[in-house]
Amino acid sequence: MSNETRVLAPDLSDEIFTLLKARFEKNMDRHQGLEWTSVQAKLEANPAKLWSLYEMERTEGEPDVVGYDEATGEYIFVDCSPESPKGRRSVCYDRAALEARKQHKPANSAMDMAAEMGIEMLNEEQYRELQKLGKFDTKTSSWLTTPPEIRKLGGAIFGDYRYGQVFVYHNGADSYYGARGFRGTLRV
């Protein structure tokens, strides 16, 4: 899908702005020192990014601003839903894993969904940073961008939070579970 077609209708734009602003104001500890008016102006100038945030919200990711990159001037959004987003679960890791399954294929893969939404999956470092903002994935788990050397051997990594700790595990990239999805990030 091209960026030209990734534009929300005005009523959906209003809806997502209202949701994002309310979440931003409710969770100021995630983005201390940042102001909503600056975030909104940046989003208004980037309609394709607003569309991606709408997709994150539609799939129950509850995106919120978690930082600002001084070097690039970009706000960093991450899925902050308490559990792995419901609309992105029961997916294997990537297209190669999906195609390798002979039977009981999931409907999609995490990497394909992220690309379709115009976002990137969290990597291990980003996931650990997110966990500093709260306790996420206490009952679910989330696929993480996997280092090539692990993926080349057929594996993929995922993370969760159990027993007061962040755990990163491995699994076959072609596996999928009702309690495993993925979290995304978007820079605006």
**CA angle (66 as vertex; 111, 113 as ends), nearest 5:** 15
CA pair distance 121, 184, nearest whole angstrom: 4
pLDDT digits (tens, 9 = 90+) for 133-155: 999 999 999 999 999 999 999 99
pLDDT digits (tens, 9 = 90+) for 160-179: 999 999 999 999 999 999 99
Q: How many CB atoms lie within 10 A of CB 129?
A: 15
Cβ atoms of 52 and 71 closer than 8 Å: no
Give the pLDDT score at 73.
97
CA pair distance 106, 134, nearest whole angstrom: 30
Give the pLDDT score at 5.
77
Give the pLDDT score at 102.
87
Name the residue with higher pLDDT: 25 or 1: 25
Residue 40 has pLDDT above 80, yes or no: yes
CA distances from 30 to 79, 86, 140 (A): 12, 22, 22
Confidence of residue 25 (pLDDT cuts 50, 70, 90): very high
Give the pLDDT score at 4.
55
pLDDT digits (tens, 9 = 90+) for 52-98: 999 999 999 999 999 999 999 999 999 999 999 999 999 999 999 99
By CB atoms closer than 10 A (0-12, 13-18, 19+), residue 18 is: exposed
By CB atoms closer than 10 A (0-12, 13-18, 19+), residue 31 is: buried
For the segment 95-116, the average pLDDT, to the nearest whole number, is 95
Strand partners, 113: none
Give the pLDDT score at 122.
98
| Prediction pTM value | 0.94
Give the pLDDT score at 112.
98
In degrees and rounded to multiples of 5, residue 105 shows phi and psi of -70, 140
